[in-house]
Amino acid sequence: MISLLLLPSLEVSALSSSLLAHELHNLLLSLYGDSEGVVPTQQLYIEVFLCDNFRIDHFKILETAPLILEAELFLYFTNKGGLAE
């Protein structure tokens, strides 16, 4: 199981120029078990609040797909459980 506690430190500035800081956004978060993943280990729809420097301040996991999906975030993990570069 991959801990979602890693999310508050993620920078999402490369996602889209249409995402604004200090607002809520709906994202699809795809988690991969290795850096060469093709099929995600898990996918979550999340609502995030972006703060300064486009960092995730807080988030909520949504139970269903949102009406409007603004961006996708792909995370690849190493064998040791850390984020791949």
pLDDT 10s digits, 30-82: 888 876 777 888 899 999 998 887 788 889 999 999 998 888 888 887 777 66
Which residues are paired to 83 by β-bridges? 77
Between CA 58 and CA 66 the distance in angstroms is 17
Query: What pLDDT does 1 receive?
Result: 34
Q: How far is CA 42 from CA 19, 30, 47, 50, 55, in A?
A: 24, 6, 16, 22, 22
Query: What pLDDT does 61 receive?
Result: 94
Q: Using the CB atoms, write b or e for 3-20: b if 16+ within 10 Å.
A: eeeebeeeebeebeeebe
Query: What pLDDT does 63 receive?
Result: 94
For the entire predicted model, the pTM comes to 0.70
Is residue 2 predicted with pLDDT exceeding 50? no
Beta carbons of 27 and 71 less than 8 angstroms apart: yes
Is residue 21 predicted with pLDDT exceeding 80? yes
Task: Identify the DSSP state of 13.
Answer: T
